[in-house]
Amino acid sequence: MKLAAFNGSPKGKEGNTEIFIRQFAEGFQSVEGSTAVRYYLNRTAEHENFRDAFSKTDAVLLAFPLYTDSMPGLVKAFIETLEPLCGREGNPTICFLVQSGFPEGTHSRYVEKYLEKLASRLGCPYAGTIVKGNGGGITTQPPFIQRKIFAGVRELGRSFGGNEPFDQEELDKLASPERYPWWMVPIVAMRDVTFINLLYWAAALRKNGVYKKRSARPYVE
Amino acid sequence: MKITILNGNPDSENTGFDGYLFNLRTRLSEADNDVTELVLRDMDIQYCLGCFGCWIETPGECIVKDDSAMVCRQMINSDLVLCTSPIIMGFPSALLKKMLDKVIPLIHPYFVIDQGEYHHKARYKRYPLLGAIWEKSGNTDDRDIEIVNEIHSRTALNFKSRLAVTCTTDDSLKEVADEISRL
């Protein structure tokens, strides 16, 4: 089976979406006779060629980072080029991967509903949507956590390549926490949020010499 | 009320949509509102690169110098921002989405917990209400509109605001203008 994996990150090969796609494709290709080709949607001038690739493949993964609660604009531009394929017989089986900077899976559930409807609009058999929170932090996770996450993504790739349904338990694990339970919220607010703000954002602002301007309001009239 | 209309119609030949907005703008102006329509297809707006430069290099401003800075300035100084677009493949246009991706300079990189979830902190003291006006295309159904409005309610939440008006161009201008005047 042939997989076309579309990377919808504006950062292309340099982004975190690529890391997840590589794992998924590795799992997919572990099924005998399966191949995977990656396409980068930040090459917007090539969208029409990518549509041809979409129409000629057996299976599609469309993966992207969550941008203001849905797909990045360039992914929407690609989706618009797919309009002539709507309802065409023989459209590929499709699955999606949405990774977001927020830790909770819930942020990506709204666009997931759109993606399921998109599959139906195109007439593509829908295999599911992989939701991964804290995608932005994947490279800074301890190796043992990374290994667990990657094994989960590879397993989903393998089942997609083997024409098997996604394992719900695996999907849930990757999306966890869906939301923090009420009793954990104050702890998360005090501990995790403070930690990220100081160690990630404040450090980056300081490094760039703009910490004092961090709360600038340049557009106030 | 200061109202900004983001016209996300990518097709200048879709005069029905632009005409609807023209008539709405006229009606809202007659009701003593200060209305500005920004036609996004006529502006130079680049795709967001996801570089976070607007948070950690030039806080509050995109590092790419394009017309999104003017749109952000106009938005944050409004009382109501109407996001408007034809629905294409079940979702507002890529043109409108490209602009909405570029409003992140208006919020702060720091996280806060809001409604029990991670969100970003406010950068400004006040944010405009958001509204949505969609034009259904041939294959748009009620479920599409419901999904799109849910997603834009989330966008409003992240924008420290709320989605206060949702309508389609099937609604009469009077109904839409009345709903806005009740805000």
* Nearest CA-CA distance, residue B22 and chain A, Å: 26
Q: State the best of A7, A44, A47, A67 to mutate against chain B, taking most chain B CBs within 10 Å.
A: A67
The domain that holds A80 is classified in CATH as: 3.40.50.360
Q: Report the residue from B98, B100, B111 with minimal CB separation from A193.
A: B111
Mean pLDDT value across chain A: 96
**Predicted local confidence at residue A143, as pLDDT:** 87
Confidence of residue A159 (pLDDT cuts 50, 70, 90): very high
Q: Report the residue from B50, B61, B113 with minimal CB separation from A189.
A: B113
What is the number of other CB atoms lying within 10 angstroms of the CB of residue B126?
11
Confidence of residue A188 (pLDDT cuts 50, 70, 90): confident
The domain that holds B99 is classified in CATH as: 3.40.50.360
**Predicted local confidence at residue B138, as pLDDT:** 83
**Predicted local confidence at residue B131, as pLDDT:** 98
Q: Are residues A76 and A13 in the same domain?
A: yes
Instruction: Using the Cα atoms of residue B69, residue B71, residue B74 and residue B79 in order, give the sign of their dihedral.
Output: negative
Q: Which chain B residues are closer than 8 Å to A205 by Cβ?
A: 55-56, 59, 109
Q: What's the rounded mean pLDDT across residues B141-145?
A: 97
Q: Are residues A80 and A187 in the same domain?
A: no
DSSP secondary structure, B155-171, as one string: HHHHTTS-EEEEEETTS
**Predicted local confidence at residue B102, as pLDDT:** 98
Domain limits at A112?
A: 2-175
Q: Are residues A136 and A187 in the same domain?
A: no
Judge if the upstream peptide bond of residue A177 is cis by omega within 30 degrees of 0. yes
Q: Are residues A130 and A202 in the same domain?
A: no
Are B47 and A44 an interchain contact pair (Cβ–Cβ within 8 Å)?
A: yes
| Cα–Cα distance measured from residue B6 to residue B65, given in angstroms and rounded to the nearest whole number | 19
* Nearest CA-CA distance, residue B17 and chain A, Å: 18
Domain limits at B93?
A: 2-181
Total beta-carbon pairs less than 8 A apart between chain A and chain B: 163
| Cα–Cα distance measured from residue B151 to residue A193, given in angstroms and rounded to the nearest whole number | 24
What is the number of domains present in chain A?
A: 2
Q: Which chain A residues are closer than 8 Å to B72 by Cβ?
A: 219
What is the number of domains present in chain B?
A: 1
pLDDT higher at A188 or B112: B112
Q: Are residues A157 and A217 in the same domain?
A: no
Q: Are residues A7 and A90 in the same domain?
A: yes
Q: What's the rounded mean pLDDT across residues A33-48?
A: 97
What is the number of other CB atoms lying within 10 angstroms of the CB of residue A56?
11
Asked whether the beta carbons of B182 and B174 are under 8 A apart, the reply is no
Q: Are residues A110 and A218 in the same domain?
A: no
ipTM over 0.90: yes
* pLDDT per position as a tens digit, A106-153: 999 999 999 999 999 999 999 999 999 988 788 888 888 999 999 999
Are B49 and A10 an interchain contact pair (Cβ–Cβ within 8 Å)?
A: yes
Put simply, whether the predicted model's pTM sits higher than 0.90 gets the answer yes
Are A188 and B113 an interchain contact pair (Cβ–Cβ within 8 Å)?
A: yes
